[in-house]
Copies of this chain bind each other. A is one copy, B any other.
Amino acid sequence: MLSHKAKYALKALLYLAEQDENHISRTIEIADGANIPKKFLEQILLDLKRGRFVSSKQGKFGGYYLIRSKNDITLAEIHRLFDGAIALLPCASLNFYEPCSDCKTEEECSLRHGLMIIRDETLKAMQGITIASLVKK
């Protein structure tokens, strides 16, 4: 399941993607528009900024704007930024790999192979969903 953070991030990106080119959106504007607690959204926007999805202008008349194409941002990326691995266990993860402590050897782990199949399918599906694909009504 997605965390609230990831969900809110997606909604915020959706909101930004719907704005005119060159429009800068204030946090409060996004919060109201997408029904997100403002202070919580602040943190999320900072995370999105650190992840180089958006950039910001500070001070009066400042705010946030997309710096990547909405056709380019996928659900998989947002999931990874906020909720981490897409695989069901770290030992089956591409980007968040960690060995399992309770398996004797990786070869012997009977789960890993199946989980990698699922990861591949889920990842493919998640990479197919972009901000642009969601925004169009």
Contacts and interface: CB of A to CB of B under 8 A. Distances in A.
Contacts of A114: 75, 129, 133-134
B134 A14 contact: no
The interface residues of chain A, by DSSP majority, are classed as helix
Interface stretch (A21-29, A57-65, A120-128): A120-128
A128 B117 contact: yes
A124 B121 CA distance: 9
Given A7-B89, A117-B129, A110 B134 contact: yes
Nearest to A135: B110
Point out which of A11, A104, A113, A125 has the most chain B C-beta atoms below 10 A from its C-beta: A125
Interface residues of A, number: 37
A75 B118 contact: yes
A87 to B, nearest CB: 8
Given A1-B84, A1-B88, A118 B125 contact: yes
12 contacts: A2-B89, A11-B110, A35-B103, A35-B104, A75-B114, A75-B118, A79-B88, A111-B134, A117-B125, A118-B125, A118-B126, A121-B124
